Chains A and B, each alone.
Chain A
Amino acid sequence: MHGFANPTRFLSIARPLTPILLWLGVALVAISFYMGLFTTPADRLMGETVRILYVHVPAAWLGMAGWTSIAIASIVELVWRHPLAAIAARASALPGAFFTTLCLITGAIWAKPTWGAWWVWDGRLTSMLVLFFLYLAYMALARESQAEAAAGRSGMSRIAAIFGIVGAVNIPIINRSVVWWNSQHQPPSITMGQSSIDPVFLWPMAIAVLGFSLIFGALVLMRMRTMLAEIRIEGRLRRKAMGASVS
């Protein structure tokens, strides 16, 4: 695994991989959207609004997968001190937060016609909202601690990793607590997915999930490359400044 600790070797793989993931992802999403919009029928109960499923479900999946990758990268960073893991964790935060936001927005748009309100304190919606706040806290912490690390206190970059792991431990607890809270406050009548999803919808949805996941991977790789480039620029400027002061 430490083979990829060398940024040059990582970049030699990441550079060609980024467009492959991106365009394959875009193609798969386009196929699933075409199927979702034109070839699949409207739902018996929810009508045409069911088509938002093909954005909503992948967004929800990637919102949670984003924090999972933060947690895994954080563990790799803390345990093996892998230098790229810190970058990978920070690079996953913004795409994860973006898809969590997308999930919340599409959820609200979907909730309006089906449940009659923009926001319902449904268990899934609420735990995604808490996850969104956790992302904001993580990103703020990562930015602040990275500023300190850049100022010479190298250990500070591990602060965000600790929070990433603590968050990952707590996310299932938050999810369960919200479900319990929901069942106490209102009858759990508003649950979707009780009637199992028809295979007609399942196929385009699976393709959409795969496609968005590939785009997510491409975004993370792009952000990692940007962060590595910034580190390089800083190092080069520092060397230049030192060379200037010596001569």
Chain B
Amino acid sequence: MRLKTKWTKRRGVAAALAASAVLTLLGRTASRPLRHAADLLLAPVGAAPMYAATALKGLGRDERTARAGEEQVRRLRQENRYLSYLAGHWKYQHQLQKRRAQELANFHALYRPTSDLPCELVPARVVGTGGLPYTRSRILHTPSRDDIIPGEPVATRLLLTDLSKALPCQPEHLFAVVTGSALVGRIVSAGAYTARLQLLSDRDFQMAGRIRRVIDPSRPRMVTVTEGAAAEVTLTPENNRQIEVIARGDGADGLIVEHVKAYHNVRPGDLLVTSGDDRVLPTEINVGQVTEVRPEAKEPHRVTLRVRPHADLGTLRDVFIVVPLGDAAP
């Protein structure tokens, strides 16, 4: 006996809702391939509008900077004149030192520790944002490789790379993401030709870092040195040890560092850098600058720092995914 069923819109609604329920129950199993498919579909056409959007956003920022810096321009011009005068002197000194440096170059080449990071930089371009503002993520388009793994660091500097090497996958490592000069986030998911970059400011972003206190001779600061007998001394290059911290995204446009001991006397203007101990990013990279130091209500001997990212996350465009090589690979 054949059962005849008539397809109606009401059944269509029921089927759609049932499909949603199934997709919800499947969770990541379904969401990843679906999102990657959507990313693949929209990424190629997203590049041009994203270019316009970032250019537009950057334009507004430039205007604000120009208006804010008008008074500074006059002062900078004066400084420039003075620096031009000094340039002649330093030119002579430079020639002198150049000869000496040449003599030492061979020695340094033989005995200095290698400064190159054992990594591969994979160029990627921001072609879209997260559709909703709840998570601060960007969709990356990696033009010529399909083996980017979740958690790889990214950086923004154009570089040709060897694109044929397969990568080992360890999803438990959510590595840092950097621009040419600063950290911007990390890869949280990846598919063929696309990857999802979680920005520093995402509230789920967390990283181990260090606070580097900037020494300003005109504004000396007192700090407590805990080595040996604790004593309050003036901060100098000799006792200026970096402070290890855990930073997390504030969900808006920066980072928050909590529970920093007040006796470290961290000030606005100090820098947050990566720890350099991470095996997938074993180098110190700028993350941001401390903009606010606030005492904690519950623990008066500790402070909370607000950090503004060094990179302009709003106008992020070209980035590189840093793929560790050799022993540093996950």
The answer to whether A and B come from one shared complex is: no
Which residues from chain A sit less than 8 Å from chain B, CB to CB? none
